[in-house]
Amino acid sequence: MVTSKTIANGILRAITVIVLSALLLYFLYQIQSVLIYLIVALILTLIGNPVLDFFRKRLKFNHVFATIGTLFIFMIIIAGFIMMFIPLILSQGQNLSLLNTSAIEQQTIQLVSQISVFLENHHIDSSKALSASEISSKINFNIIPNFLNAILATISSFGMGLASVLFITFFFLKERKSFFTGVKKLIPDNHEEQVLNSLEKINSLLSRYFIGLLLQLFIVFVLYLTVLLIFGVPNAFIIGFLCAVLNIIPYIGPLIASVLAAILTMLSNLGSDFQSEILPTTIYVLLGFWIVQVIDNNLSQPIIFSKSVSSHPLEIFLVILIAGFLFGILGMIAAVPLYTILKVIGKEFFPENKIIHLLTKNI
């Protein structure tokens, strides 16, 4: 029989759970920087595991020296990136006025005026289709500078964060065996083999995935840069860099990159004649970007999304699409790693399930 005391105890427990959950979420929000450091360190650890194994197995380094060697390679790459890329990004970003919202707005209004003249010369009424005042009031001109400033701020404020990430990564790499030993003590004996097999497969698959993703972004950046240089687009480095970064977002990123490249190409050539120079150059750049995407979609992405995580391209496409609808852009970025983890766990713990067996037959 339900009594008032039972109801009161149930309400009290529910309130306690809600309060504790709220406090936990608030605590996680307050330490979000630490969580980001941990996530970045974990990704670096996954990328560094094959390098660590190379030092240990091929060069016969002991574990500590292999860890130091792996970390040293990371530091060289990061230092090279800062020394080579950041000055170019800053200088070209300033040349392109990407850090100045009002300059972008003025340039856009001027570009719209040139497009209006072009349409009028071809007997197309542009008074309704294009109005500089209407466009300037509807477009958020902070998008491009905010995007670039966010990248630069992340890199420039990464001083202490970089040291923290490398410190955490060092111990993630060094204490890898201790981690597995600790996990063995915590998990029940009847599930020990399944959990350890899952961790080993997840580590292997995600290491391949993140290495492949970095390689894909570098290839796309080089191809974008080549297209922009061939057609003589000013500030080619910064445009190629921004468009390559957008490729992190599966499927949608390249479309956004193409639109961004077209806009920035037109803004970069603003002093030229619209009909004879700006429009043809923009069309050529879009065609070049389309060719890059054909190459990427048929070579780079299948290798990364299919072979690295042992999943069919259609399967990956549907997973990313569903994650995008449910969780937005962040969901699309995290979809492949999380789906891979779930597949490995499903294969180890539910191998007899027909659906899981079908999805994990290549793992």
Domain spans of the chain, in order of start: 1-30, 188-363
Label residue 10 by pLDDT band (50, 70, 90): confident
Query: At 124, phi and psi to the nearest 5?
Result: -115, 125
Residue 192: what pLDDT?
72
Separation of alpha carbons 4 and 272, rounded Å? 81
pLDDT in tens, 149-207: 665 565 555 566 778 888 888 888 888 777 777 767 777 777 777 777 887 888 888 88
Separation of alpha carbons 224 and 237, rounded Å? 9
Query: At 321, phi and psi to the nearest 5?
Result: -65, -45
pLDDT in tens, 215-238: 888 889 999 999 999 988 877 887
Separation of alpha carbons 134 and 116, rounded Å? 13
Percent of the chain with pLDDT over 90: 4
Percent of the chain with pLDDT over 70: 73
pLDDT in tens, 73-82: 888 887 777 6
Residue 203: what pLDDT?
81
Least confident window among 107-116, 200-209, 280-289: 107-116
Element at 254 (helix H, strand E): helix 252-268
The residue whose two tokens read 């570009």 is 111
Q: What is the mean pLDDT of the chain?
A: 77
Q: Which of 2, 29, 341 is nearest to 200 (CA)?
A: 341
Separation of alpha carbons 330 and 353, rounded Å? 30
Separation of alpha carbons 237 and 330, rounded Å? 26
92 has a pLDDT exceeding 60: no
Q: What is the pTM of this model?
A: 0.70
Residue 136: what pLDDT?
46
126 has a pLDDT exceeding 70: no
Q: Which of 208, 202, 186 is nearest to 347 (CA)?
A: 202
